[in-house]
Structure 1
Amino acid sequence: MSDTHTTNDPHTVAGVPMQWVGPLRISGNIASTETEVPLATYESPLWPSVRRGARISRLTERGIVATLVDERMTRSVLVEAKDAQSAYAAARLLDARIGELREVVRGCSRYAELLAVRTEITADLLFVRFEFSTGDASGHNMVTLASDALLTHILRTIPDIAYGSISGNYCTDKKATAINGILGRGKNVVTELLVPRSVVTEKLHTTAAKIARLNLRKNLIGTLLAGGIRSANAHYANMLLAFYLATGQDAANIVEGSQGVTVAEDRDGDLYFSCTLPNLIVGTVGNGKGLGFVETNLTRLGCRAERAPGENARRLAVIAAATVLCGELSLLAAQTNPGELMRAHVHLERNMESTRIGV
């Protein structure tokens, strides 16, 4: 049997239903736009839920204010030292040679730039976390290639250390960890929306006080009791997975991507609502982006324009973060009303099933 696969063969393609919802109104330091967003998911109630949040964004003057506060892609390597003192000496040398290490990266990549090096020592083990900017790529392969070159250089020029692994799990790739929440991995985006009292009442059928109280008790206290890691939200993963699948991202990155914090405040009846996502790993070039539907979706999102390197990926990140806010707001509003969430799910899923079988 041939190992060659083709997208023309329906048995080699996993089809996920997709809809465009919105438009969302977005402003901020990266993009000011109104755009629909593509969501690929089997969870059909997600589409109308995000659509409701998008409608709310258009009823406010600035819409969702999305602020990109940082971006860096990481890879950690593991080095074995003779003892802890040797590991410490190596770490000090790495700090002193940051300029030299940046030249190594420039020699192996046109787009990667070394931003910082962080180290941690345990026993005779030295964990080195490299942080890079990666242009419009999410950067998985780019940072691994650069880290491999750095590791080769380090082993050749620093005494009393030996190879441990090209990945030391201190990155941290596709795992929910405290370090990613603290230092960030990917794009760090804060989204904010101020919803007038009348809109909260008439369109979300609740109050700012109820949403703020539920967010405190469910997202903050509930997650604390459950042992959540640097995270306090209702369902960021739902929107991220649907958005990632529709735009050709590595879907496994929703593991760290879904870490984040929702804040809701009652401001004299108006609702201040914010979602902070420190680990959005998205790109507009690289693996998966050559597929026809991905190319179409990225073009429609305005992420195929002639811009400075990295700007298309930044635009995609703030759109993803705004999409998360829409779904998060809609869900929390529904959960303030007894029975609303389940009624909506049953109604929508029955309608979808009736349409599928032609009833």
Structure 2
Amino acid sequence: MVDKNEIIKKLSSGDMKLHEIEKFTSNVKESVDIRREYIETISAGSLDNVAHYSLDMEEAVKKNIENPVGTIQIPVGVAGPLKVQGEYAKGDFYVPLATSEGALVASVNRGCSLITQAGGVTTRIISDKMTRAPVIKAESVIKALEIKTWIEDNFHILKETAESTTSHGKLLKIDPILVVGSYLYPRFVYSTGDSMGMNMVTIATEKALDLLQKKTGAHVVALSGNVCVDKKPSALNMVEGRGKTMIAEIVIPAEMVKQKLKTTPQAVVEVNVAKNLVGSAIAGSMGFNAHYANMIGALFLATGQDEAHVVEGSMGITTAEEQNGDLYFAVTLPDVPLATFGGGTRLETARECLEIMDVYGAGKVQKFAEIVAATVLAGELSLLGALASGHLARAHKDLGRG
């Protein structure tokens, strides 16, 4: 083995790359420590806190991280109990939220309290899919349309080929197949079980494209042509859905709105229309809501989800109506990629947070999705109530949040 100081010297001179350290050390922890020490020598501060972790880094470097120097820590709070009346999630749950935004957990917790007092939130999964959409270059629009027709006529062959790469993924459809000039964008749509499924559908689609190229002579420019649409806000995903498409709803008696939120159903409805609907429309926003990203982001960080998909989870529509004097309140989330198996969920802290809700592992993703939708409703309801009553700034001030 090479001496630690010799490795740092080689890194400083450029004779060794960061990813090559493992070749000259006996274990991953030693590599992590040396890499971190090197970074400290070229930076203005120390990484004392980054150095402390309980994760099994030997396992993490296999699938979750490259060039590790340690871990970061984000406070995790719990909100609840949250009563959920779902198809898969039934009962009271405590929800872990990882955030450094003061007042967020308190706000969600207030929504949980109101929901539970009102008898619980109804949740349903409307659809479940993951997508990959390559971009194909044809010689002309005529040739592009010929390829489009071949895909439509031979879907069953492409399906069999794609599914040969996975025991869990199923190709549901290839739609839409968009033609722009001589470019072709077929959107492969899959079900992926308890895995979020991006890697799964990428590998499956690549296999199907190999067949497509052999049969039609199509030129694949890129495996992803951005019609997926992955990790970006998208009108297509708003309409078609991606990941889990979920709705959560509740009817709250007017007296509970008055007692818990210090406002009225009418005031909440007005704030929702003026802010979430009209305000979002005039801004050209695809998020017709107050702050879905707050709850989605905190849940994602706590449970090992792909944090880049927070942008997709931020889209959605909040509905508020007065029904016989009471408040009908609902959140619709068209695009929330989730997993309870694989990826970041295999990290020890993520697994523990998922286990708080009993949603870790195979067969649990639908239950998790319904809890996520209910949590978003809790946070959204609490914030709109605070805005309707004029308590938002006061809550932050009282909690010492600057």
TM-score range, shorter chain: over 0.9
- C-alpha distance in 2 between matches for 1:8 and 1:245: 17
State TM-score, norm by structure 2: 0.83
State TM-score, norm by structure 1: 0.92
1:139-158 to 2 correspondences below 5 Å: 139-158=197-216
SS of the equivalent of 2:344 reads coil
- Corresponding residue of 2:360: 304
Residues 1:174 and 2:231 aligned together: yes
Residues 1:203 and 2:260 aligned together: yes
Which of residues 11, 14, 20 in structure 1 aligns to 2:78? Answer: 20
AA aligned to 2:226 is N
Residues 1:186 and 2:272 aligned together: no
AA aligned to 1:95 is E
- C-alpha distance in 1 between matches for 2:88 and 2:298: 22
- Corresponding residue of 2:44: none
- Corresponding residue of 2:100: 42
Summarize deviations over 1:166-214 as a string: whole Å, max 9, x none: 1100000110010010111100000001101110011111000000011
Residues 1:220 and 2:277 aligned together: yes
- C-alpha distance in 2 between matches for 1:215 and 1:276: 14
Decide whether aligned partners of structure 1 residues 5 and 92 sit closer, same or farther in structure 2, where only a CA change above 3 A counts: farther
Summarize deviations over 1:306-327 as a string: whole Å, max 9, x none: xxx6x41111111111111000
- Corresponding residue of 2:127: 70
- Corresponding residue of 1:357: none
AA aligned to 2:348 is G
SS of the equivalent of 2:117 reads coil
Which of residues 303, 313, 331 in structure 2 aligns to 1:257? Answer: 313
Mean Cα deviation higher: 10-19 or 101-110: 10-19
**Structure 2 unaligned blocks of 5 or more:** 1-7, 9-17, 20-30, 34-48, 53-68
- Corresponding residue of 2:167: 110
Which of residues 287, 292, 300 in structure 2 aligns to 1:236? Answer: 292
Residues 1:318 and 2:370 aligned together: yes
Which of residues 318, 331, 336 in structure 2 aligns to 1:275? Answer: 331
Assess if the C-alpha contact under 8 Å between 1:45 and 1:349 holds in 2: no
- Corresponding residue of 2:51: 9
AA aligned to 2:208 is L
- C-alpha distance in 2 between matches for 1:24 and 1:234: 20
List, as ranges, runs of 4+ consecutive aligned residues in structure 1 with deviation greater than 6 Å.
Answer: none
Assess if the C-alpha contact under 8 Å between 2:359 and 2:367 holds in 1: yes
- Corresponding residue of 1:345: 396
Give % identity.
Answer: 36
- Corresponding residue of 1:289: 345
Summarize deviations over 1:285-344 as a string: whole Å, max 9, x none: 111112111111112211136xxx6x4111111111111100000000000123x11111
- C-alpha distance in 2 between matches for 1:147 and 1:33: 39
- C-alpha distance in 2 between matches for 1:267 and 1:5: 59
Measured on the aligned residues, the alpha-carbon RMSD in Å equals: 1.6
- Corresponding residue of 2:185: 127
Summarize deviations over 1:241-263 as a string: whole Å, max 9, x none: 00000000001101111100000
SS of the equivalent of 1:271 reads strand
- C-alpha distance in 2 between matches for 1:164 and 1:290: 34
AA aligned to 2:239 is I
Summarize deviations over 1:52-92 as a string: whole Å, max 9, x none: 0000111123x110010101001110111111111111111
- Corresponding residue of 1:91: 148
- C-alpha distance in 2 between matches for 1:74 and 1:334: 37
- C-alpha distance in 2 between matches for 1:5 and 1:262: 45
- C-alpha distance in 2 between matches for 1:284 and 1:291: 11
Assess if the C-alpha contact under 8 Å between 2:173 and 2:189 holds in 1: yes
Summarize deviations over 1:27-63 as a string: whole Å, max 9, x none: 12222121000000011200110000000111123x1
Assess if the C-alpha contact under 8 Å between 2:89 and 2:368 holds in 1: no
Assess if the C-alpha contact under 8 Å between 1:207 and 1:269 holds in 2: no
Assess if the C-alpha contact under 8 Å between 1:136 and 1:283 holds in 2: yes
Deviation at 1:8, TM superposition (A): 8.4
Assess if the C-alpha contact under 8 Å between 1:260 and 1:276 holds in 2: yes
AA aligned to 1:335 is L
